Amino acid sequence: MSRIGNKVIVLPAGISVSVAEDNIVSVKGPKGTLLQAVDTDITVEVEGNELKVKRPTEQKRHKALHGLYRSLINNMVIGVGTGYRKELEIIGVGYKASAANNVLELQLGYSHNIFMAIPEEIKLTTTSEKGQNPKVILEGIDKELIGSVAAKIKSLRKVEPYKGKGIRFVGEEVRRKAGKSASKK
């Protein structure tokens, strides 16, 4: 019983979904178009402004795919409608970020600067206001792509638990550790 798979996806105004014969779902909206290949066992039905994902049997594999494809299609509908946004915060003395032509330049305390090419589907902006930590903002319609790029940026300098320096999502709580206790005399 896939509770997520059984939920109906309500299509907002301005978003259209079409299913090709080879089970490729395309979602068009004001922000763009996304495509997703769906397993041949799973059927996708569009009725008016509702979309339903159905499975043929109660096999474990079909149950897993049922919820998976419903979530993927729902993420596509949200992406082409409102889009996704991730904000990363860079914490540390001398840590900086700048962007030009979808290339992110990071200074993270290493002996060299790190240059990272960002896919064209993602809009990249950086902010560095006085008294604030530098931020990297990623915006786009593909949730999976934004998540993987944000994870890659975050992995360049993981947050360390003693001082809290590194790259983290805005609002992310980092578990801190106490340092060495003072030496006893």
The predicted-structure confidence for 23-79, as pLDDT tens digits, reads as follows 899 999 999 999 999 999 999 999 989 999 999 998 999 988 999 999 999 999 999
CA angle 174, 175, 176 (to 5 degrees): 105
Each residue of 92-130: pLDDT tens digit? 999 999 999 999 999 999 999 999 999 999 999 999 988
Each residue of 142-177: pLDDT tens digit? 999 999 999 999 999 999 999 999 999 999 898 988
77-93 b/e (C-beta count within 10 Å ≥ 16 → b): bbbbbebbebbbbbbbe
Residue 167 Cα distances to 2, 6, 134, angstroms: 36, 38, 10
pLDDT, residue 75, reads 95
pTM for the full predicted model: 0.88
Strand 84-91 versus strand 50-54 pairing type: unpaired
Strand order from edge to edge, sheet including 9-10: 9-10, 50-54, 43-47
Counts for the chain of helices (H) and strands (E), in that order: 3, 13
**At residue 1, does pLDDT exceed 80?**
no
**At residue 15, does pLDDT exceed 60?**
yes
What does the alpha-carbon distance between residue 50 and residue 47 come to, in Å, rounded to a whole number? 5
Kindly provide the residue ranges of all beta strands, DSSP E only, lying in the chain, ordered along the sequence. 9-10, 16-19, 24-29, 32-37, 43-47, 50-54, 84-91, 96-100, 103-107, 114-117, 123-127, 135-140, 166-169
